[in-house]
Structure 1
Amino acid sequence: MPRDKPSAPRRFRLLVFDWDGTLADSTTIIAEAIQRACGDLGLPTPDDVAARFVIGLGLADALRHVAPTLAAADYPRLSERYRHHYLSREPEIPLFVGAREMLDELDARGFLLAIATGKARAGLTRALVQQRLEHRFIASRCADEGFPKPHPDMLLALMDRCGVEPVETLMIGDTTHDLELARNAGACALAVTYGAHAAEGLAGCSPLATVGSIPELAAWLAANA
C-alpha cells in the first residue's frame, strides 16, 4: 500500500509525469541497450543497478556515467550503439497496464497534464504517436531542449508554460533524478517504485508518498491531488 507522510490535504493543478519507467514499461529495454552498447565497444558491462540508475538522465550524461573511462572522441560511437539496440526494440514498449485509463480520468477531472523526460524530443514524439497520446498532454519538456534532470530548468519551463506555481505542481517519477528535479524547482514529488530505481533510494528524496503500481498511483491521485 502507499506509504504517505502525514500532511494537510493539498490540491495540484499541474501533474508532471516522467515517461520511461513511470508511464511506459521501458526500463528493461533501456538498461539492456546500455549494456549491449558498452559490450560492443569492449567496455566493462554495467550491472543492472548501474544501467538502471542512469535512466532519466540525458543520454550524454547517462553514457558518461556508465563509461567514465571512455575517451571523449568515442562517446558518439557509444551513443550510436545504444540507439541501435534501443530503436530495434522500441516498438515493443507498452504503457503500463492502467496508465491510459488513469490519464483519461485525470484529464476528465480537469488537471493539466505534462511530461518531463530524459528522452530527446524525437524519441518522445515517436513514443506518444505509438501510444496515441500525442494530444493528451498540454506540454512536455525533453532533455535536448535545455538542462536535463535533475536541473530545475525542465520543470520550471513547464510551470511557466502552464501558468502555475510550484506549490500547484506535482512531479511523478520512478527515479531519484525526478524527485531531485522537483525539489530543485520547489515543487512536490510522488515516487513510483515499479520503475528504474529502488524504493529505498526514492524514499531518501522525501517524496510526498511512494506507490508501487499504476492502480496505487491512480488511487493516491484520486484521494490526494
Structure 2
Amino acid sequence: MARKQFDLIVFDWDGTLMDSTSTIVTCIQAAARDLGLPVPDNRQAAYVIGLGLQDAMQAVLPGLEPKYYPHMVERYRYHYLTKDKGLTLFDGVREMLADLAQQGYFLAVATGKSRVGLNRALDAANLMSAFDATRCSDETFSKPHPAMLLELTRELGQDLRRTLMIGDTTHDLQMAINAGAAGIGVHYGAHSAPELQALDPLYIASSVPELHNWLSENA
C-alpha cells in the first residue's frame, strides 16, 4: 500500500498506550493528602496528566508555596511506584505497534514521564525495542512546548510536516500544533472528546483498535 501522509508516528505514553490514568489521578490525590494540602478532584488531577511531574504539581495546586512542590513530587513517586507494576497496556497496543513497524513507519514516544520512569514502563511492558526514539520531560521542555517533537524529528532525520502526534490530552495536541506536526486525539485517557476537539485534530479515536484502523486507512 502506498504511503499516504506520514513517516513518523509519535505516541504519548500514559493514557494513550498505557492504561494508567486512574492510577495517576489516585496518586496525585494521595500525595496532596499526605501533605495536608487541598486534594484535587478527579477532573483536576486528570487534566495535568502528560505534563512533566513538577509542572503537573504546580498546575494541579496553583498558588501553593514553591517549597511544597518537591514534596508533592516525592510523595507522588512514592505512591506511583507501589502501583505501577500492576499497570497494563490498552488492548490492541502490541498489535498496532507491530503492524505500524512492519509497514515501515518510524515510531517514537513523547511523554511527561521521567527517563527512569519511561524505561521502567517500557521494560515492564517488554517494549524496549519497539520504538526508534523516545523523549521524556526531564530531558527537555515539558509539553505543550514543541521541543520533544523537534528533537525526535531531528534525531530520526524526519520532517515535521510528515510527523503525526497521538495523545489523550490537549497538551499533546497543542504540542503538535506548536511544532507544526499533525495531531490525533484519543478520548479513552485523561481528556474528554470535546476538550480534544477544540484543538481540531485530524481524528479522535475512542479505542486503540479504532485508532489502529484509522492509521491503517489514512496514515
TM norm structure 2: 0.97
Aligned position for 1:5: none
Aligned position for 2:16: 22
Aligned position for 1:71: 65
> In the aligned structure 1, how far is the partner of 2:173 from the partner of 2:86?
27
Match of 2:158 among 164, 169, 192: 164
Aligned position for 2:167: 173
Stretch of structure 1 that moved more, 9-18 or 80-89: 9-18
Match of 1:49 among 32, 39, 43: 43
Consecutive aligned runs of 4 or more in structure 1 exceeding 2 Å deviation = none
Are 2:91 and 1:100 equivalent residues in the alignment? no
**Do 2:110 and 2:134's aligned partners in 1 also have CA atoms closer than 8 Å?**
yes
The Cα of 1:75 is off from its aligned counterpart by: 1.4
Gaps of 5+ in 2: none
Aligned position for 1:208: 202
Query: 2:11 is matched by which residue type in structure 1?
Result: F
The Cα of 1:71 is off from its aligned counterpart by: 1.6
The Cα of 1:69 is off from its aligned counterpart by: 2.9
Stretch of structure 1 that moved more, 62-71 or 176-185: 62-71
The total of aligned residue pairs comes to 217
The Cα of 1:11 is off from its aligned counterpart by: 1.7
Query: 2:125 is matched by which residue type in structure 1?
Result: Q
> In the aligned structure 1, how far is the partner of 2:200 from the partner of 2:28?
29
Query: 1:104 is matched by which residue type in structure 2?
Result: A
Aligned position for 1:184: 178
Residue 63 of structure 2 aligns to a residue in which SS? coil
Residue 144 of structure 1 aligns to a residue in which SS? coil
Residue 145 of structure 1 aligns to a residue in which SS? coil
Aligned position for 1:119: 113
Stretch of structure 1 that moved more, 39-48 or 194-203: 39-48
**Do 2:54 and 2:70's aligned partners in 1 also have CA atoms closer than 8 Å?**
no
Residue 183 of structure 1 aligns to a residue in which SS? helix
- Cα displacement string for residues 84-132 of structure 1 (whole angstroms, at most 9, x for unaligned residues): 1111001011000110111000000100000000000000000000001
Query: 1:202 is matched by which residue type in structure 2?
Result: L
> In the aligned structure 1, how far is the partner of 2:157 from the partner of 2:166?
19
Q: CA RMSD in A?
A: 0.9
Aligned position for 2:79: 85
Aligned position for 1:3: none
- Cα displacement string for residues 182-225 of structure 1 (whole angstroms, at most 9, x for unaligned residues): 00000000110100000000000010011100110000000000
